[in-house]
Amino acid sequence: MADSEAIRRAVAEALRQHLGESPRPIIDEAAVSAAAEGSTLNVPPGALVTPLARALAVERRVKLVEGRPAVAPGERPVVAIGADHGGFPLKETLKADLQKSYTVIDCGTGSTDAVDYPDYALAVAELVRAGRAWRGIMIDGAGIGSCMVANKVPGVRAALCYDYATAVNSREHNDANYLTLGAGLIGTALAKQIVEVWLKTDFGGGRHQKRVDKIVAVDEQFRKS
């Protein structure tokens, strides 16, 4: 056992020296050891999982699941927001509110001049996928097209929400990390309510976890095909 631990430490140190100051979070054997046996360990999008960590996860039956990036205590969560020309006015209103409690990355657009919503929906999704944003919000005319775009990006679970109940459900049951809104379908007051509850509702875990695990497994299946 002592020899095994020494080898693990040596390999981990060699890996850290090789990576240097890599901006990618690293999941090593210590992180897997800290997880309860048979549990699920959320891996931030874009993180590097070391070979020893993967081997130990198999040994301890710890399921590695790509999840949302962690937010350190006292740190302002990063929210990426985007919109097409139809969603631009609502984006500006929501952004002003969000900046009071969150660090906001504005992915555009910057005016009501006509643009294509897939470009901005993808820009927000890529930040969520890379772990640079804790959550993503995208606004277009109906919210449908942007939701379709975002859900094609591995690691993104986008939900089109149009009232309080769908906002809560998408977080509590589905662990959605990307919200789409239809500026042409809901008013400003309702949009503010949806965003607030969506950002503040935690994932319920429990019986919902195995279902989210299956969503993640579909990502993995098609990424490898």
Indicate which residues carry an active-site annotation. 173
Q: Which positions ≥6 away from 182 have C-beta within 8 Å? A: 139, 140, 141, 142, 143, 144, 160, 162
Question: How would you label 69-87 residue by residue, b for 16+ Cβ within 10 Å and e otherwise?
Answer: beeeeeeebbbbbbbbbbb
Burial of 25 (0-12, 13-18, 19+ CB in 10 A): middle
Q: How far apart are the first and last CA of the chain?
A: 38
Tell me the CA distances in angstroms from 90 to 10, 57, 95, 97, 161, one per residue in order.
53, 44, 8, 11, 15
